[in-house]
C-alpha cells in the first residue's frame, strides 16, 4: 500500500490554491455568464413551448419567430436534436439566447437579449491523422466494428480497392492498414472521416498498396496508385452493387431442380441484394437498351466500347434511358425482382464481342496510368507514407495493451 494520503504522517497539507474560475466558451458566448440549459427537442415539442418554459411570454415568442423566419423556420426543429438555452443568471431565469444544433458541426443562434438577431455558426473542425489495422476473421465490417473504428472506413476501403479486390470473397487472414484523417469537434467528438491518405490490403497473400495522390491540383483531381505508380482502377468494377454477395455465378453447366435437373446455362452472375439497392454501371459507356422485356424484367444494357457491353436484369426501377451516357459507378437502376426470378437480385451479364462471358475470367484492361511527368513527385510523396504504413503494427489488440498497462 503506497498510495495513501501523506497527511496522516503529520505533514501539513498545503492550503488549496485559490481556484480560478474556468471560462467556458461555446457558440461565441461565455457560458459562465448565463444559466445554461442543454436539452434535446422532444417529439411534438415546439419552439414556443421551449421558450415559454424559460419565461418568455407568447407575444414576444411570436415576434422572435417572425424576426427569425428568413434565416430559420422554427417549425423545422427536429425531435432528438440538441438545443441550448442561455438564460439570465438571476432569479428571473429568463431565456436570452436559443441555440439549435441540426447536426454536430453547424448551429443556429436566435439571440433576443436586446434586439432579435439570428445567425448560423460552425464549430471548429480539427483534423487528426490516425492509423488503423485489422485482420479479417469473418468479415471486414466485423474487423472494423470490433475495434470501434468508424464504419465509413470499410466503405472507403471497398471503394479504393473496388477494381482490384473482390470484397465479397475476402478470406480469413486477409489484413489491412490505413493512414487516414478523422474529424473532431471540441477535440473529442468525432464527426466523420476525411481523406484516406494511404492503405495497404493483403488479400490471399497478395499485398496491394494504395496512395492517394493529387494529379491535378487546380481541379483537385486525385486518385489511388500503388507503390509502383500504377493505377488501382480497372476499366470495370468487380460488382454493380456495393456490399452484396454473389448468389449464382456464370455457369454453362448449371442444373436447376425446377426444370427437372436439366442443364440450364446461366450466362450471368447474380448478385443478391435487397429490393431498392442501387445498381451501378461497372464502367463508362452509353445506354443502348433500357426497357421491360419478358424474363429479363426491367433491364439496362450499356455499351462501353467496341468490345464490351454489360447488362443488368430484374430491376425494380430503371434510372437511365436509351442514349444516356453513364460513368463508372453511376446509379442506373434499383434491385428488384421483375421478370423471371425467385428473389431480389441483379443478374449481371458481361458481353464481349457480342457473346456473353464470365467477367471474373477476363483479363480486363487497366484504366489510365499516372502521367510520366508526375511520377518523380509521386515517389517523393509516397516515400515517407509507405514507411509510416509499414510501421503500423499489424493489429491493435486493445485488450493486450490494457493488460500490459495494468501489470505495472
Chain residues in the site for Zn ion (CB under 5 A): 268, 270, 347
Q: Name the β-bridge partners of 224.
A: 212
Shortest approach of Zn ion to residue 257 CB, angstroms? 16
Shortest approach of Zn ion to residue 253 CB, angstroms? 15
> Based on CB atoms, which residue is closest to Zn ion, 131 or 356?
356
> Based on CB atoms, which residue is closest to Zn ion, 152 or 272?
272
How far apart CA 226 and CA 208 sit, in angstroms, is 7
Which candidate, 287, 280, 277, places its Cα nearest to that of 345? 277
> Based on CB atoms, which residue is closest to Zn ion, 202 or 313?
313
Residue 65 parent element (H or E)? helix 58-68
Shortest approach of Zn ion to residue 374 CB, angstroms? 42
**How many residues are given for the chain?**
408
Which grid cell sits at 133?
Answer: 489495422
> Based on CB atoms, which residue is closest to Zn ion, 134 or 297?
297
Shortest approach of Zn ion to residue 368 CB, angstroms? 32
**Residue in the shown chain whose Cβ atom is closest to Zn ion:** 347
Shortest approach of Zn ion to residue 406 CB, angstroms? 55
400-405 contacts, C-beta under 8 A, 24 or more apart: none
Q: Is 145 in contact with 132 (CB distance < 8 Å)? A: no
> Based on CB atoms, which residue is closest to Zn ion, 233 or 318?
318
Which grid cell sits at 199?
Answer: 492503405
> Based on CB atoms, which residue is closest to Zn ion, 343 or 369?
343
> Based on CB atoms, which residue is closest to Zn ion, 223 or 270?
270
Shortest approach of Zn ion to residue 162 CB, angstroms? 21
How far apart CA 143 and CA 399 sit, in angstroms, is 15
> Based on CB atoms, which residue is closest to Zn ion, 254 or 395?
254
Residues 334, 339, 342, 344, Cα dihedral to 10°: 0
Which residue's entry shows cell 439549435? 100
How far apart CA 232 and CA 213 sit, in angstroms, is 12
Shortest approach of Zn ion to residue 107 CB, angstroms? 50
Sort 82 into a burial class: Cβ within 10 Å, 0-12 / 13-18 / 19+.
Answer: middle
How far apart CA 268 and CA 164 sit, in angstroms, is 20
Shortest approach of Zn ion to residue 312 CB, angstroms? 10
Tell me, what DSSP letter sits at residue 30?
E
Amino acid at each position: 500500500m503506497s498510495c495513501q494520503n501523506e497527511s496522516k504522517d503529520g505533514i501539513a497539507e498545503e492550503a488549496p490554491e485559490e481556484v480560478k474560475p474556468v471560462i467556458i466558451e461555446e457558440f461565441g458566448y461565455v457560458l459562465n455568464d448565463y444559466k445554461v440549459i442543454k436539452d434535446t427537442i422532444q417529439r411534438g415539442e415546439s419552439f414556443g413551448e421551449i421558450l415559454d418554459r424559460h419565461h418568455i411570454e407568447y407575444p414576444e415568442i411570436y415576434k422572435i419567430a417572425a424576426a427569425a423566419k428568413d434565416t430559420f423556420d422554427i417549425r423545422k426543429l427536429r425531435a432528438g436534436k440538441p438545443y441550448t438555452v442561455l438564460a439570465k443568471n438571476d432569479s428571473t431565469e429568463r431565456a436570452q439566447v436559443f441555440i439549435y444544433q441540426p447536426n454536430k458541426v453547424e448551429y443556429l443562434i436566435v439571440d433576443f437579449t436586446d434586439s432579435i438577431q439570428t445567425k448560423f455558426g460552425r464549430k471548429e473542425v480539427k483534423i487528426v491523422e490516425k492509423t488503423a489495422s485489422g485482420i479479417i476473421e469473418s468479415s471486414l465490417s466485423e474487423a472494423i466494428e470490433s475495434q470501434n473504428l468508424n464504419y465509413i472506413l470499410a466503405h472507403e476501403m471497398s471503394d479504393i480497392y473496388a477494381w482490384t479486390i473482390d470484397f465479397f470473397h475476402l478470406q480469413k487472414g486477409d489484413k489491412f492498414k490505413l493512414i487516414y484523417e478523422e474529424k473532431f469537434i471540441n477535440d473529442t467528438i468525432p464527426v466523420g472521416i476525411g481523406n484516406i491518405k494511404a492503405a495497404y490490403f493483403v488479400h490471399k497473400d497478395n499485398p496491394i498498396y494504395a496512395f492517394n495522390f493529387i494529379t491535378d491540383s487546380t481541379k483537385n483531381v486525385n486518385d489511388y496508385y500503388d507503390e509502383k505508380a500504377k493505377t488501382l482502377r480497372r476499366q470495370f468494377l468487380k460488382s454493380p452493387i456495393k456490399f452484396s454477395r454473389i448468389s449464382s455465378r456464370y455457369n454453362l453447366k448449371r442444373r436447376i431442380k425446377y426444370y427437372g435437373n436439366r442443364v440450364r446455362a446461366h450466362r450471368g452472375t447474380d448478385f443478391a441484394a435487397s429490393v431498392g439497392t442501387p445498381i451501378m454501371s461497372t464502367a463508362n459507356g452509353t445506354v443502348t437498351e433500357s426497357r421491360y422485356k419478358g424474363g429479363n424484367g426491367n433491364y439496362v444494357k450499356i455499351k462501353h466500347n467496341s468490345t464490351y457491353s454489360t447488362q443488368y436484369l430484374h430491376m425494380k426501377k430503371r434510372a437511365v434511358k436509351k442514349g444516356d451516357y453513364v460513368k463508372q459507378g453511376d446509379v442506373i437502376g434499383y434491385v428488384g425482382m421483375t421478370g423471371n426470378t425467385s428473389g431480389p437480385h441483379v443478374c449481371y451479364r458481361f458481353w464481349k464481342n457480342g457473346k456473353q462471358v464470365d467477367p471474373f475470367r477476363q483479363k480486363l484492361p487497366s484504366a489510365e496510368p499516372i502521367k510520366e511527368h508526375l511520377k518523380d513527385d509521386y515517389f517523393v510523396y509516397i516515400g515517407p507514407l509507405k514507411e509510416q504504413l509499414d510501421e503500423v503494427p499489424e493489429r491493435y489488440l486493445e485488450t493486450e495493451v490494457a493488460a500490459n498497462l495494468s501489470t505495472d
